[in-house]
Structure 1
């Protein structure tokens, strides 16, 4: 969501019934990692509108800016902070386009997967009065100065009607191996999830978060075209959602809200019925102000040191000239 503008979403009755879950938001726990948070970028490096984050290993952090739509490849600067990669033409980030080479995708979420870099969007910045809920795939190895989507999936007709600034804020990826090992329930087939039912969908499912109602939707995306199938609809435990991150080692999906929810996060795991359900709700670290955090990423287990691993938040408002902040979570 672009920080300067906010619109009221128009939701169907069905969507409203899935939205606010006050009891889950009320039963909040202390942040499980360190209470202290520090800035993780140079002063005035990125400006406003930084949104989704995703680790690729422990030494690459992907980030998207939502206005104008831009993809950044970040690397460690050697002092515990992140900087723009200066190789491969990434020094200023790369402008994002739709598959036809045009438009200005309002990039809100990003996830690095074996199939490529996937971005969730809520509208076209060239026509920002109309909701356009798309997932776009990009080639992160390209040396081009701007990137055209190598595939795109328009989910608008499959999701509740929402305002142009209340759309797909979040995206994450959960491997098929994890889903099948834990008996994930497929709401489409009304049986245990069988990856073979979805041709050419890659190695996992894509989970997107709709800001307006705080609901998570899981999709199989045909990597050879633009077809998709919704596999599950999941209550996140929050009234709004800004980021999704799958923590593989703990087998849990994190759903993060911004200052609208005082920076709370919920975690979800697959329960005995094969469905993702809320297991905990956490307050933000006590050392971090109630920022407009729209991005959150958890470093992999390989980054563990002294029992902790880094996490990074992206502040859309670039408070105090900093868009990135870092803290910790316990290693599993």
Structure 2
């Protein structure tokens, strides 16, 4: 994975001054220090990237090479693929090998962020794809797709969309989220057929988050806002409704830190930056998700390690219930 382009020192200084977010001193991880292996030995291999809980006992995961979707179920204290196993992903027309980097389960379906087509991996192709989570097929085509490439900054082929999350309109309007397109309070009724929330995607190249209203028929979209995720690059996004915050995470290049963003004056702003848990090594963490329910005052947190370190791609920790 390439995080930075070759360029001159002066160009780096200019670029950093334009896109780097303000420094935030990291505070200790707010959950427990303990982290455990959360999968079997060599179940996934390398390239496991995005994660998203559907329920306390169902966890979705995507792998970016080859493009693969997993529905995971609990196996004691660990997670394993369901009886269908690995599902290969294609674009809406059945072609391609979408480089799946992020996934989120929403009321609209299962939505995946991709950064290129593995069949032509030298070209950036920043698409969001929706799949039917009820499909039992081993190979699934997208039922809708949105090509955001022309609306986002030009990036290298392996520095594109890494993260995706979904935030309900009810939360955004209650918190006074601002529509940067209109420079007024976000008004859901202005965006026909966009569903009941906005999609937030993270661009690895610049660490920015972009909020979109996606026409659920596919194809058309409107950008609502853009803001920094708190790091020079971004690996995953996770909305935690119980805490009114959007999480942004980085990988080993940022020491595995995460940022909690809240809406201040109409805009998502970094409230706190956290170190990784004390017992979590500085792995290449590309996936992050938080369980929707509590048990004994704790919520499970799961990370995906792109490198499958020690033959394991999933690690689990905890956050306190609020």
TM-score, length-scaled by structure 2: 0.96
CA distance in 1, matches of 2:296, 2:218: 45
When residues 56 and 18 of structure 1 are mapped into structure 2, their CA distance, relative to the original with a 3 A threshold, is farther
Shift of 1:142: 0.9
Give the structure 2 partner of residue 312 of structure 1. Answer: 302
Give the structure 2 partner of residue 60 of structure 1. Answer: 58
When residues 150 and 18 of structure 1 are mapped into structure 2, their CA distance, relative to the original with a 3 A threshold, is farther
Of 275, 280, 291, the match for 1:283? 275
Give the structure 2 partner of residue 295 of structure 1. Answer: 287
CA distance in 2, matches of 1:215, 1:189: 20
* Structure 2 residue matching 1:288: 3-state secondary structure: coil
Q: Which moved more, 1:5-14 or 1:146-155?
A: 5-14
Provide Cα deviations, 1:267-299, integer angstroms capped at 9, x if missing partner.
10011x111100000000110110000000000
Of 36, 56, 66, the match for 1:38? 36
Give the structure 2 partner of residue 141 of structure 1. Answer: 134
Of 2, 18, 22, the match for 1:6? 2
CA distance in 2, matches of 1:258, 1:173: 21
Structure 1 runs of 4+ aligned residues shifted over 4 Å read: 9-18
Shift of 1:43: 0.7
CA distance in 2, matches of 1:58, 1:18: 41
CA distance in 2, matches of 1:54, 1:18: 32
Aligned residues: 318
CA contact (8 A) 2:247 2:260 kept: yes
Give the structure 2 partner of residue 80 of structure 1. Answer: 77
Give the structure 1 partner of residue 259 of structure 2. Answer: 266
Find out whether 1:103 has 2:96 as its counterpart.
yes
CA distance in 1, matches of 2:225, 2:185: 12
* Structure 2 residue matching 1:147: 3-state secondary structure: strand
Give the structure 2 partner of residue 234 of structure 1. Answer: 227
Provide Cα deviations, 1:225-273, integer angstroms capped at 9, x if missing partner.
31010000011111110000000100100000000101010110011x1
Give the structure 1 partner of residue 210 of structure 2. Answer: 217
Find out whether 1:207 has 2:200 as its counterpart.
yes
CA distance in 2, matches of 1:318, 1:32: 25
Provide Cα deviations, 1:102-123, integer angstroms capped at 9, x if missing partner.
1000000000000000000000
Superposition RMSD on alpha carbons, in Å? 1.7
Shift of 1:70: 0.5
Unaligned runs of 5+ in 2: none
CA distance in 2, matches of 1:208, 1:256: 12
Provide Cα deviations, 1:120-145, integer angstroms capped at 9, x if missing partner.
00000000001000000000101222
Give the structure 2 partner of residue 21 of structure 1. Answer: 21
Unaligned runs of 5+ in 1: none
Shift of 1:19: 2.6
CA distance in 2, matches of 1:82, 1:56: 13
Shift of 1:165: 0.5
CA contact (8 A) 1:9 1:212 kept: no
* Structure 1 residue matching 2:242: 3-state secondary structure: helix
Give the structure 2 partner of residue 71 of structure 1. Answer: 69
* Structure 2 residue matching 1:126: 3-state secondary structure: helix
Of 120, 124, 134, the match for 1:127? 120
Give the structure 2 partner of residue 50 of structure 1. Answer: 48
CA contact (8 A) 1:110 1:117 kept: yes
Of 177, 197, 216, the match for 2:190? 197
TM-score, length-scaled by structure 1: 0.93
* Structure 1 residue matching 2:23: 3-state secondary structure: helix
CA distance in 1, matches of 2:66, 2:137: 17
Provide Cα deviations, 1:82-102, integer angstroms capped at 9, x if missing partner.
00011xxx22x1100001101
CA distance in 2, matches of 1:323, 1:119: 19
CA contact (8 A) 2:49 2:305 kept: yes
